[in-house]
Structure formats: C-alpha cells, structure tokens
Amino acid sequence: MSDNILVTTLDEALRWGTGKSLWPFTFGLACCALEMMSAMGSDYDWARFGSDVFRDSPRHSDLMIVSGTVTKKMAPRVRRLYDQMAFPKFVISMGACASAGGPYVRGYSVVDGVDQVVPVDVYIYGCPPRPESLIKALKLLQDRIADGKVKH
C-alpha cells in the first residue's frame, strides 16, 4: 500500500519535473519565429516558466516550437529533427501556417498542417499569434503534462 503511494508520488514528481522544465529547441522557420523571439525577449520573458535555456541541439531540448510555414522541402527535415530529439518531447504548432497551412493552404509546396509530419500537442491559431498567446499555450501545456494528460 505504502509502496503504491510512493510510486505514485514519484511518478507525480517526475511528471512535474518534465512539465515545468521545457527547454525549447532553437528552431525558427518563418514569421512566427520573430514572435517566438519576442516571447523570449525582455518584455514577455518566458524564462519565468523555466524555458530560458534555449538549446541548439535537438538532443538537449524538450520542446519543438514549429514556428512558421512548413514547406514540402522542409518537412522531411522537420521529421528528422523531431526524431533526433530525446523523449519526452513535445511539439507546439505555432501559427496558422504550422497548424493548417494558413494563407498558403492552397499552394503547391506547403504542407497544410505540421501534424502530418510530427505529432502535435498544442495548436495556436493566429498569424502570427501574439507572444502572450504562446506563453499561455506554454503554461497550459506545462499544466497538462504535470496532470498527466499529455504523455510521451
């Protein structure tokens, strides 16, 4: 009985750790990357949520923010980068382009939705979403991971 409680507590603690420490991957694609940088900048400062350690290598990072249009030429590379990240890993699809193709949805060389390439945990709509939107999404994702609703 007490063993179970211990296991549950440990499990919860680990989930808490995963959730509250999401190191983003330096991965900017297009317009939304600038708003991502704004969210990182002094005015919005998402370091408050423990995401200030921007990691340049996928091996070190937990959170891939697909910030911008994913073209067909880029999609296999995105998949590759996602595969090279270490579990547990999460994906935020930022903006209309990454979520559904956005203004380029009728184009010939744009993937309409990055969820065809990698599994997405959070979609943010808008073109581009405001930084506060991204920060709110990050916070919601953190809470959901800590609650065990998002698993990897």
Partner 1 sequence: MSMTPELAALALAVIIVPIILAILLGTARHFSPKSYGRYTHDSYECGEVSVGDFQSPLPIQYYFFIMAFVVFDVDFVLLLPWAGSVRALGAGIFLDVVLFIAVLLGGLFYASKKGYMRWSSV
Partner 2 sequence: MSDADRTPGPLQGIGGIIKGIWTIFLEGFKPKVTRQVPEEKLEYPARTTGRVYLNTETCIGCTLCEQICPNGTIRMVDFHFVKKPETDKKYPNKREIYPSVDVSTCIHCNLCEEICPTGAITLEADVEEIHFVRKNTRYTPEQLGKKEVELWGEERQ
Partner 3 sequence: MIPVESEASSKDGVKIIYVAKENILQFLKEKKDEGFDYLLMITGIDYKDHLEVVYHLLSSKSGERLVVKAKTDGEIDSVTSLWKGANWHERETWDLLGIKFKGHPNLKRILLAEGWVGHPLRKDYPMEKKQYVNLKEDGDDTVSFEKKEGY
Q: Which residues bind partner 2 (CB under 8 A)?
A: 42-45, 48, 96, 99-106, 113, 115, 120-127, 129-133, 135-137, 139-140, 144
To partner 3, the closest distance from the beta carbon of 78 in angstroms equals: 8
Please report whether residue 126 would count as binding partner 1 according to CB under 8 A.
no
Q: What is the 3-state secondary structure (H, E, C) of 106-152?
A: CCCCECCCHHHCCCCCEEECCCCCCHHHHHHHHHHHHHHHHHCCCCC
117 binds partner 3 (CB under 8 A): yes
Is residue 59 within the footprint of partner 1 (CB under 8 A)? yes
Tell me whether residue 57 or residue 116 sits nearer to partner 3 (CB atom). 116
* Among the listed residues 84, 103, 109, 132, the single contact to partner 1 using CB under 8 A: 84
Tell me the torsion sign for CA atoms 85, 69, 92, 45.
Answer: positive
Binding-site member from 5, 87, 106, 108 for partner 1 (CB under 8 A): 87
Which pair of structure tokens corresponds to residue 23? Answer: 């190191």
Half-sphere exposure of 60 (CA within 13 A, CB side): 11
State in angstroms the smallest separation of the CB of 84 from partner 1: 5
CB contact at 8 A, 70 and 98 = yes
Q: Burial level of 134, CB count in 10 A (0-12/13-18/19+)?
A: buried
Binding site for partner 1 (CB under 8 A): 14, 57-59, 77-84, 86-88, 152
